[in-house]
Chains A and B, each alone.
Chain A
Amino acid sequence: MADTTAKPKGAAVRSAGTRRRSRKSAPGLGAEKPEALLDYYRRMLFIRRFEERTAQAYTQARIGGYCHLNLGEEATVVGLLDALHENDYLFTNYRDHGYAIEKGMDPKRVMAELYGRSDGVSKGWGGSMHMYDTKTRMLGGYGIVGGQLPLATGAALAISYRGGDEVVMCQMGDGTTNIGAWHESLNIAKLWNLPIVFVVINNFTGMGTTVEMSSAEPELYKRGSAFRIEGVRVDGRDVLAVRDTAAELVERARKEQTPFLLEAWSYRQKGHSVVDPAKYRTDEQREQARSDENDPITLFEARLTEAGVLTDELREEIAASVKAEVTEAADFAENSPTPDVSTLFDYTYATPVPNESRRMPADPVFAE
C-alpha cells in the first residue's frame, strides 16, 4: 500500500550544500555565518512557541473562529521570507500567523488580532485567517482557498505596470493547485510576464484529503509546465535549502520579469485546524508527521549542535528569550481593549457617499 504521507518520490529535491560557497565557517554548513544560523533557529522556534501559545489561547476561548497553525512548517516560513526583500509583497492563505510575523509584523499586534482586540493589525476586523499590514507589505491572509492567487497576480501586474523592481510571493496549500483560480492566475502571470513566485506548501493533505486523492498530477512542482512556468521542489524541513531555492527564484523573477513555481514539502504536525484531531490519519501517518526526523526545528537544532554553533547555554538562552517574547505578545493581546462598537460602520467604504446604511439589527430602516 502506498504511503501517502511519504516524501515525494522521484523528485529533484534540493537541499542545502548544493551551492558551493568559498568561505568556511561552521562544519557541514558551508560558509554559513553562525549568527545567521542562530537567527534562523530563533525565528523558527519563535513561530513554534507562538503557535503553541495560540493553540492554548484558542482552547481557552481567548481566540475565536477558525485557527490554522504553522506547526511543522517553520523552516519553510523562515526560509521563504528570508529570500524576500523588505519591499517585496506577500500574499498567503489562511495559515498565516508565522508568515505575518516573518514579513515583519509585530507579534504583539498579530496576537492582538487573534484575540480580536483594537491593537490588532486590522483592529480586530480580520482575525486568524486575515493578517494584513500595508507597512510591511503582507497583503493578506485569505480564507477562501485560491482567492489570493488572482490578487497576487494583480499586484505583480501593478508592479510591472509601473516598472517597479519588487517581486510578489504568493503562498498556498497543496489543495489549491486544483481550483480554477490556480490555472487562470498562472496562465495570466506567464502571459503578461509578471514578477511573481507561486509557492505551494505541500503537507500532503488538504484538510483530510491527500494530494493523491485530489491531484491527477501529484508532483505539484510540475504543474507549472502547462503554462511554461519553471517549477522546483524543495525539502521544506530544511530552512537553508528553502532559503537558497526561494532566493534564486525570487531574484530570477525580479530580473527576468517572469513567474516561477516553488513546491516546499513538510509535515503538518497537527490537524487542519486547532479543533481537528486528525482522526483520518493512520498511526503510521501520525507518527511520521510528529517524528523528530521530520521536525524542522529538531533537525536544525541537531545540525547546529553538531557543528558547534548551538551550545546548551545558547539553546537555553534562546528558549528563554523566545518564551518571554511570546508571553509578552499574549499579555499585550490580553490587555488590549476590545474594539468599540461605535466603530462598526467605519470600514465599509473608503469613499463616503450618501445613504450608506448605519442601521443596527433591530433599528427601523427609517430613523425618527
Chain B
Amino acid sequence: MSVITYRQALRDTLHAEMVRDENVLVMGEEIGVFEGSYKITEGLLKEFGPRRVKDTPIAEEGFVGAAIGAAMLGLRPVVELMTINFSLIAIDQIINHAAKIYGMFGGQTSVPMVIRTPGGGGQQLGATHSQNIELFYSFIPGLKVLAPSTPAEASSMLRAAIRDDDPVLFLENLGLYNTKGEVPEDYAQPENDDVATIGRAAVTREGTDITLIGYSRMAMVATQVAERLAKEDISVEVVDLRSLRPLDRQTFVDSVKKTGAAVVCEDDWLTYGIGAEIAASIQEGAFDHLDAPVRRVAMAEVPMPYAKPLETAALPSIESISTAIKETLSAVGKRVG
C-alpha cells in the first residue's frame, strides 16, 4: 500500500488507461498545455501528444457532444468539465443524447465515454461555482453516475468508468483533491484490473446505533463524524453510496434494519434532493425497523454566498451532522453521548 492524494490517484489511473487502450483520449478546456485546472491531466500532453490530449475551445455543448459522437464510433473519450456547474451548458448533449442513444436506437450503438467533473462548495467561489448538481444526472436512466470519496475508490472507479460501455458521469470534488488515502502498490499500472463494480454502495465503517449515509466529500465527512462520535460512545455505521445511478438501496436499507435509525448528509440542497430519495427508500425498505424519522442534513436553501461566515453557515459540517445524529438518537430514547 502507498498513501497518495485523490488527485494523484485520478491522474495516474487516467495515465494508465491511456497506455492500456489506444482508443482512450482526453478532451476538455485547459487540459493540455495548461495541464488541467486541477492538474488531473498533468504531463499527459507531453507524453501522448495533441491527438490524444485535446485542448478544446470554451464550448461545452460542442466538445461534450463531439465526445459522444466519437464514442459512437468506438473511441473512449474521457471529457473533463472544469466544474460541474459548466455541465449545464452541455446538459442537452448529456441528457438528450448521451443518455438516450443506446436505448432510443434499440441497442444498436453504445456510448462508451466518461465525463469527469468536480462539484463542491466551501471554496468561496460564490453562487454559480459551488453547486453539486449531480442530482440532475442521477435522475436520468441511461447514465451511470459515480461519486468516489477516497483515492482508492477514485482509482478503481475511474478504471471502471473508462472500461464501461455506457456514458458515465464521474463526480469529483474540489474538497477531495488534496485528501490522502491508501491505494494498492500497482494502482498506476496499466495491467491493473482492480475495477470497481458500478452500482454498489459500501459500508465503510461498521456501527450499531445509527446509519450515516453520504457520498463524495460527504462520505469522507461522515467518517470524520463517526470517529468523533465514537469518542462519545456513539456507534455510527457509515454507508458510502459510491454509485448514484444505479443506486444500491439494499446496502443502506440493510444497515438501517440493523441500526434502526438513519441520517443522510449531502453537499447540496435538501428539497427534491438525493437525500430525499434515500429517505423515501428507507421508509419503503425498512419501515418496521425505523425507530425515528430519517433525518437529512443538507445545504441551506440559498444561492451559495461568497463571504466565508455565510458560506460556512450554509454548508453541512461535522458539527451539524453530529447534532442531527444526537437529536435523532435522543428522540428514540437511545442514549446520547
Contacts and interface: CB of A to CB of B under 8 A. Distances in A.
A355 B105 contact: no
Contact of A346 (B65, B107, B250): B107
Interface in B58-116: 59, 61-75, 77, 92-93, 96-97, 101-112
A181 B61 contact: yes
A126 B109 CA distance: 13
Contacts of A350: 102, 107, 110-112, 165-166
Contacts of B253: 366
A347 B62 contact: no
Contacts of A147: 65, 92-93, 96-97
A278 B247 CA distance: 47
Contacts of A139: 72, 109
A220 interface: no
B263 to A, nearest CB: 20
Nearest to B284: A365
B141 A357 contact: yes
Interface stretch (A117-125, A206-214, A252-260): A117-125
Contacts of A123: 106-107
Interface string B9-23: 000000000000000
Contacts of A122: 104-106, 108
B197 A353 contact: yes
A124 to B, nearest CB: 7
Nearest to A182: B62
Contacts of B110: 350-351
Nearest to A357: B246
Contact of A126 (B64, B71, B75, B106): B106
A126 B73 CA distance: 19
Nearest to B253: A366
A150 B102 contact: no
A157 B65 CA distance: 11
A89 to B, nearest CB: 8
Interface residues of A, number: 53
A152 B70 CA distance: 8
Given A126-B104, A144-B96, A351-B166, A152 B57 contact: no
B53 interface: no
A265 to B, nearest CB: 26
Interface in B243-280: 243, 246-250, 253
B296 interface: no
A126 B105 contact: yes
Interface in A57-114: 89
Contact of A154 (B65, B107, B144, B164): B65
B46 to A, nearest CB: 19
Contact of A188 (B66, B77, B199): B66
Contacts of B108: 122, 132-134
B198 interface: yes
B65 A149 contact: yes
Interface string A211-248: 00000000000000000000000000000000000000
B251 to A, nearest CB: 9
B249 A365 contact: yes
A364 interface: yes
B285 interface: yes
B25 interface: yes
B248 A355 contact: yes
A99 to B, nearest CB: 15
A296 to B, nearest CB: 30
Nearest to A349: B166
A181 B65 contact: yes
A348 interface: yes
A365 B105 contact: no
A124 B107 CA distance: 11
A155 B97 CA distance: 14
A285 interface: no
Given A132-B108, A354-B197, A159 B96 contact: no
A187 B62 contact: yes
A188 B58 CA distance: 10
Contacts of A181: 61-62, 65, 92
Contacts of A133: 108
A314 B68 CA distance: 47
Contacts of A158: 69-70, 72-75
A348 B248 contact: no
B281 interface: yes
Nearest to A139: B72
B93 A150 contact: yes
A153 interface: yes
A154 B59 contact: no
Interface of B: 25, 51, 54, 56-57, 59, 61-75, 77, 92-93, 96-97, 101-112, 141-142, 144, 164-166, 197-200, 243, 246-250, 253, 281, 284-285
7 smallest CB-CB distances across A and B, nearest first, come from: A150-B65, A154-B69, A184-B62, A350-B110, A122-B106, A154-B66, A158-B73
24 contacts: A125-B103, A125-B107, A132-B106, A140-B101, A142-B97, A150-B61, A150-B68, A151-B65, A151-B97, A152-B69, A153-B62, A153-B65, A156-B69, A158-B72, A161-B70, A181-B61, A184-B65, A185-B66, A188-B57, A350-B110, A350-B111, A351-B165, A353-B246, A366-B249
